[in-house]
């Protein structure tokens, strides 16, 4: 049976750091950066990319639609 690995791509310039995506992730893959984007907001990023399964919970709950989710069978 193939294992599914996922990855997310976050448009950091459009992310407002609202943190809605963080509790939606069952594997605690997402965190908020200490750095800020061009608009002055801290942004979400993948802190544990190897744990992502591509479940898409984060992309579904993101109010600004800045998260793209990808899945690959390995």
Question: How would residue 3 be classed by pLDDT, with cut points 50, 70 and 90?
Answer: confident
Tens digits of per-residue pLDDT, 16-74?
A: 999 999 999 999 999 999 999 999 999 999 999 999 999 999 999 999 999 999 998 87
Question: How would residue 1 be classed by pLDDT, with cut points 50, 70 and 90?
Answer: low
Predicted TM-score (pTM) of this structure: 0.88
Ordered by where they begin, the domains of the chain are 4-73 (3.30.70.20)
Specify the pLDDT at position 54.
Answer: 95
Distance CA 62, CA 16 (A): 10
Which of 66, 28, 63 has the alpha carbon at shortest distance from 47? 28
Distance CA 1, CA 5 (A): 13
């Amino acid at each position: 049976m193939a294992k599914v690995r996922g990855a997310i791509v976050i448009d950091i310039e459009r992310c407002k750091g609202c943190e809605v995506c963080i509790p939606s992730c069952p594997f605690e893959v997402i965190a908020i950066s200490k750095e800020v984007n061009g608009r002055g907001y801290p942004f979400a990023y993948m802190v544990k990319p190897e744990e992502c399964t591509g479940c898409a919970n984060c992309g579904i709950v993101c109010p600004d639609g800045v998260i793209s989710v990808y899945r690959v069978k390995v």
